[in-house]
Amino acid sequence: SYSWVASPQQKQEKKGHLRYNPLRDSWVLVSAHRMKRPWAGQVEKPPEEHIARYDPSNPLCPGNTRANREVNPNYDSTFVFDNDFPALQPDAPDPGSDQHPLFQSKAARGVCKVMCFHPWSDVTLPLMKRHEVVKVIDKWAELVEELGATYTWVQIFENKGATMGCSNPHPHCQVWASNFLPNEPALSDRCQRDYYQKHREPLLLQYAKQEAEKKERVVVESLDWLVVVPYWATWPYQTLLLPRRHVLRINELTTKEREGLADIMKRLLTKYDNLFEVSFPYSMGWHGAPTGTYLNEDNSHWQLHAHYYPPLLRSATVKKFMVGYEMLAQEQRDLTSEQAAEKLRNLPEEHYKTKENSEKEEEMKKSK
């Protein structure tokens, strides 16, 4: 009789092994068997599910006064303003060149902006209409075009949820532009350049083709976009959002691609929320080719992409901690990318809140 024998790869996935991250030239320790251990550690407070649509004390709401006494306009779409407490300033002084090699510093110049996605505080990107998300993408592109004309790097990022240190539930992101290339994009730039010089093809373009064929780590996909749990993922349900064609920066996306991006973002973020039926916390951000003086250079090795880093591991209240070994030795994860992708892929694309509202409406109709 036939007896099933696990392949070496299947055996490996149940044991500890290392996976290479070509975007960071580093290795990740995968320890899937650790998911079986009992949990008696910290439990997070579940995100607040009942948020007021308008809060007169919220500085991000339309018509309200912020900390610097500026009054927000009664905006009905996106709204961008200069961060009232910026980490970067355009007039930072130059410390000079007479420095000890062990005590070096440079001028860090730039601007920091806040961008509200929507006038309502009780919506998030997956619950917004597609045309509303397109307006967010259009504004991102506009800011990269505007700030990138002057600054080397324009970082768009969103911290969602108190678990990720976000102090305000109003849907918003931040945009920091700097006169220097920060550590993470500088490392990514080097790795993508090295790969391109060896293979004459952008690293992430080839990676997207490989993942689209393999399917095992694909979460959602469309004609223009692909979302995967990357082979080298560190965070439990980390994903990588990629265009299928070669694109350097977000402002180069066509109208069709921006509409498709709005769709794929809504699908991904709906699955995130549906995983534990909670407004899923994460930090996300866009990486594209550097700007400023780099606009005059060949950046063919770059490929536009977005990273999503959600911390939740076992439930809405238990998150992954990057401490101890991760801080002192190397990154480690507790389930394989394939397991995470399968869980996300099999979730419905109807948001749990939309489903609940539909069910309530049906019950009301029956009771009449």
358 is in an annotated binding site: no
174 is in an annotated binding site: yes
CA-CA distance, 8 to 12, in Å (whole number)? Answer: 6
CA-CA distance, 339 to 302, in Å (whole number)? Answer: 29
**Is 172 an annotated catalytic residue?**
yes
320 is in an annotated binding site: yes
Report CA torsion sign: 226, 228, 232, 236.
positive
308 is in an annotated binding site: no
166 is in an annotated binding site: yes
251 is in an annotated binding site: no
Among 100, 118, 170, 172, the active-site one is 172
326 is in an annotated binding site: yes
CA-CA distance, 281 to 270, in Å (whole number)? Answer: 12
158 is in an annotated binding site: no
Q: Is 268 helix (H, G, I), strand (E, B) or coil?
A: helix
What are the residue ranges of helices labelled H in the chain?
A: 8-14, 130-148, 183-199, 203-214, 255-276, 325-328, 337-345, 352-367
CA-CA distance, 277 to 280, in Å (whole number)? Answer: 8
Task: Count how many residues are written for the chain.
Answer: 368
84 is in an annotated binding site: yes
Q: Pairing state of beta strands 332-333 and 26-30?
A: parallel
36 is in an annotated binding site: yes
Residues annotated as part of the active site: 172
Residues contributing to the annotated binding site for UDP-alpha-D-glucose: 34-37, 67, 83-84, 159, 165-167, 174, 320-321, 325-326, 332
**Which residue ranges make up the annotated binding site?**
34-37, 67, 83-84, 159, 165-167, 174, 320-321, 325-326, 332
